[in-house]
Structure formats: structure tokens, C-alpha cells
Chain A
């Protein structure tokens, strides 16, 4: 009996990265999801429904704010902020969630599960579940439920069940493990609404496709405002969904530098960081091949960051590829640099950013000073910082 032919081409590779490393039990669901997504891309009714939700529910298009006072600290470069923080639920996460929630309905599934680090993706998932009448369970590392207690309460108010994950490092990585175990068990009626551009194919592609709207809008807005393309596009990178969302529509514009800022924690040399591309090596984690923080035995190493949303030892495979081919650059920003930029944006622009986003803002200070006053930088202001008030108050020693 000759073996049937294996088609490895159709499995979402980005150069040597991506693919599928998952139990066979999930293959049928991943194939079903791939098909649903491909048909949705060409389905005018689906696209109309999603556009309608953006316009009437989450608040798209998001605006561009020019940060003139902040720019004085960034070498005088022109600083343009893409305001994803103004979306309903407070971050870019809702873009992907609304898209995948509609796919869930299309597939006839009634239950969604999600992982969350900072809680933004969990809140967005709970929100979409409430809106579309789906059951929602959110897995969150126990350590994160403590540092993001406000978001836990928000999810519960929205009717979701929040499961605190006590295994391993008790952060995002372990929340994803637990969500995958739930999915293997309940895949028949459940969609795993993954929040970032990691995981097995088709997730890196689906999440990117639903986040691309950030870059599509921003590219047109910057052209209209300045008459030219920006010199650089900046974003923070944990798993990398807001970054790929704003980068992707600029990939063909080779004059535009794409720069991702990873969480350097206490500094890469300290070993306590979450800068996966800057400080990791190629490997396999959570169903995909990409850069991973791992030891010599291929065991995942715990990541560290003041920002729960960037505290992840993996990164999306497309970022790994963009790094290797030199199309995008990745740098690390440590906790102190991020908190300085956080405070600066609050005081110069009246905008409290998410601590995740503050890594991109610190990057803007760096790049602005490198490029000088003729440069225009587009920064994805991926989320707002209400959820981080307690962490920031503790960091700056403010009495609560």
C-alpha cells in the first residue's frame, strides 16, 4: 500500500517558521477554521457584518493624534499616534475578537475560550461573547489575575467565567496551555479564540488578517495628513498582534522601517526579560515554530516583564521571519525605560497608555533621537492604561 501524499505547503509557513505542532485531535478543528476564514475573506456578507460592527460598536476608524509635546523629547521627530486605545474595551484586541467571534457563529459553535495576559484580550472576548450570545471561559495565569485584578472584574461583569491557572509560571504561557487542554477536550462545540499571532496555523494568519485594519487605516491617514509615508512604524511586541496589524500593510513600502519593541524586563543580560527575538533562539512553542525563550533542553524558560501583556516567552512566527529577512527590526526596552515613557506620555499629552504600549513609546524616544527632526514616526498606541493604574502607582511609589 503506497502512502497518501502529504501536503506541507498549505500549513501556514513563514520561511522556516510557523506550521502546526499540535495533537492530532485538533487537526480537524484547525482545518475547519482555516476553511471558515478563507471563505469569510471572500464573503461580502461577512465583511459587511464585520465593518458594521467596527463602525457602530468598536468605533473604527480609530483616529491619529499628533503628539507634539511628547515629540520634544524624541529628537523633535514628528510623532503620530494611531489611537487603538480609543476602541471599545480599550485596545486593539477587539479587532481580532470581533472577527473570530463572527467566525465562531459561522462555524455553528456556541462556546469560546480565550487566554489572556494583561486581561485586554479576555475583556474583548467576554465583550464579544456577550454581544453575540456565546458562552465564554477565559484562562488567565494566577499571577496575572492579581496584577490585573480590574480586568478580572470586568470579564466577570460581562458574564464570562475566569479560570485562574496555577500551573507553571502562572502567567500567559500557562494560560495558553490550559486553554489548549480545554480545546482538545471540548473542540466539538468550542472555538479557541486565540488573541495573538502565535499558535498553530491558521491562527497567525487569521489574527493578522483581522488586525491589518490598523495599518490599512493608518497608512491612508498618514498619507493624507503628511503627504508621504512615515519613515518608521513602531509597535510593542509580545506575541505581536498589534505590531503585525500595523506593520503588514507597510511591508511592500520598503522605504518604511518597521521596528518592534520587545519587553526587556530587567535587561536582557539579567536573563529576566521577555525579549524573544532579541534574546531567544528558534524553537517550537504552543503549536508553532518561532523564536522562543528556552534552555539547552528545549524547555521553555519563564519570561519577565512589568507588562503582563508582553510577558510571554514566544512570539508570532511572521515576526521571526520578518526579522530574519531583515524587513523588520526588533529591539528590547527594559521596564524602567518603558515606565519613563509611560509617565512622559501622561504628562505631555494627557494620554495614559497601557504599559505594553509604553515600550513602543520608549522606542519612539530612541528612534526619534536617532533620526532627528525630519523624521515622521507612526506609533501604534495599542491600548490604554486604566488597567495599569495600580501597577504604575506602585512603581512610582504613589499612595493608593
Chain B
């Protein structure tokens, strides 16, 4: 199996902190700027990167990522751009995953997609709308290509369901902090710590929490009970506000630095 994520979480554990995971859609605001943004995120302290595959019907995403996806698709972003950005991120030394709705993966060809992740140096794929019941082919191909399978569980998941889904995960389990779509929130839902506690009884894997985390204080709070903190919309908002130029890149790095302090002060 790919060792990138296990090594990262082991390192974070030895440093008594949580991992900081940053998300950016490929081709946003354009592919050239996206590469620089990834670099700024990593130099600011992001430990692992999720490259989003923009999709026309992102039902798990709030307005910020919807707008970013629409912009990226208008730029003509396709699978090759996703793999290119993934390779770029991996070359910068961060364990790098793709996050994609199922339709683009199935259309590309499941075996071909898994192979392309490996060739790009990626370590896994997060599939927010692929249920484990529909995963037979994906299980085979991700295993064959030695990449991690990350499924997303939610506060509404039953204990039996948590057990079933986490048993199919590798690398880490993605715990959605709340019932809802992606986007920044005033506060992190109280459901998140309870969900993580329940997951601890069903899985030995690291648990990363996403949805609604945007500030240092929130990162610190989540890091107190989770192994990883996932931030997406907050980075995208910066680019939407300041653009992908020098100012935007500086703000991205500052946010990464601030979140990075947060995940180091949680334990």
C-alpha cells in the first residue's frame, strides 16, 4: 500500500498534533495560478493536499466551491489538468489526493483513473458520492494501483454504517463535521467530536474532519479530537476576493500558517 498518508499521520502523532489538509479545485482560478496556490499552501504549512475534480453537479458543495467549480469548468478543465496538478503537488513533497464525484471517474474509466493517480504520484482518492455498495470496481482498481480509498461519513451515519464504511477506507476516514454542504461556518458543529468518538470505536485509521473549518481557532478545536483538519472553502474565498496574483498567494500562505499553528495547539 502507498505509505504517504500513514507516514504523515505517524509524523503528526509523534509531534503531538493534527495534520492540516488543504483543498483546491484543479484549474481554479486557472491552472497556472492553481500551481502557485498549492505551493503557497504547502509553504505555509499544509501537510497534505486534496485536488478537486470540478464537476457540473456538485451536490455536496456550498456556493463557494460551486462558483470555483463553474469557473474552472468554464476554463475547460478536464482529467489531465487534475492529474497535472496532482503531480505538481506530490512533487512539492505533500501527500496528494484527488477528491472527485463519481461521474467523471466512471466516464474516464475506473481502471485508467486509478492508474493515472499512481503515475502522477498521488496517494489516494476521496469519493464523496460513491456509496460502498457501488464500489466493487473501485475497490479492485484502487487496491491494484495501491492508492488509498477515502469515504466520507456523516453525523447521521448509524453505528453499523460507520463500521461498514470505515472498514472500506484506507489512509484516513473523512468525517463530515455537520449535516450540510461545504463552506465556511461561524462555528464548527458540536456533532463533529461525537462522530469522531464513535468512529474511534470502529476503526484504527486516522480520522480527518472537514466541512466548515476556516479559522485558526476552529482548527485548534478540531485538532483537539481529530487526526486531521480539512480546509477548502476558506482558501478558495481568498482567491475569489484577492485573485490568484501576488496578494492572493500571500493571503493563502498566511491562512495556511495560521491554520498550521491551530493544528499544533489542539492537543
Contact = CB atoms under 8 A, between A and B. Distances in A.
Interface of A: 1, 3-4, 6-8, 11, 19-29, 167-168, 173, 177, 180-181, 184-188, 283-287, 289, 292, 294, 296-300
B230 to A, nearest CB: 15
Given A21-B130, A24-B154, A297-B108, A184 B59 contact: yes
Given A185-B179, A297-B104, A24 B134 contact: no
Interface stretch (B159-167, B214-222, B243-251, B258-266): B159-167
Contacts of A22: 59, 129, 131
Interface in B43-84: 55-60, 62, 66, 70, 73, 78-79
A300 B133 contact: no
B128 interface: yes
B103 A24 contact: no
A294 B58 CA distance: 15
A300 to B, nearest CB: 4
B106 A4 contact: no
B205 to A, nearest CB: 11
A299 B70 contact: no
Nearest to A292: B103
A23 B60 contact: yes
A21 B105 CA distance: 13
Taking residues whose C-beta sits less than 8 angstroms from the other chain, chain B's interface range is 35 or more
Interface of B: 55-60, 62, 66, 70, 73, 78-79, 102-108, 128-136, 151-158, 160-161, 163-165, 167-168, 176, 179-181, 204
Nearest to B168: A3
Contacts of A298: 55, 103-108
Nearest to B129: A21
Nearest to B181: A181
Given A168-B56, A187-B156, A3 B167 contact: yes
Nearest to A180: B59
B152 to A, nearest CB: 6
B137 to A, nearest CB: 11
Given A21-B130, A184-B180, A283-B107, 5 more contacts: A3-B168, A21-B131, A24-B131, A28-B158, A289-B134
A297 B128 contact: no
B160 to A, nearest CB: 8
Contacts of B180: 181, 184-185
Contact of A21 (B78, B134, B163, B181): B134
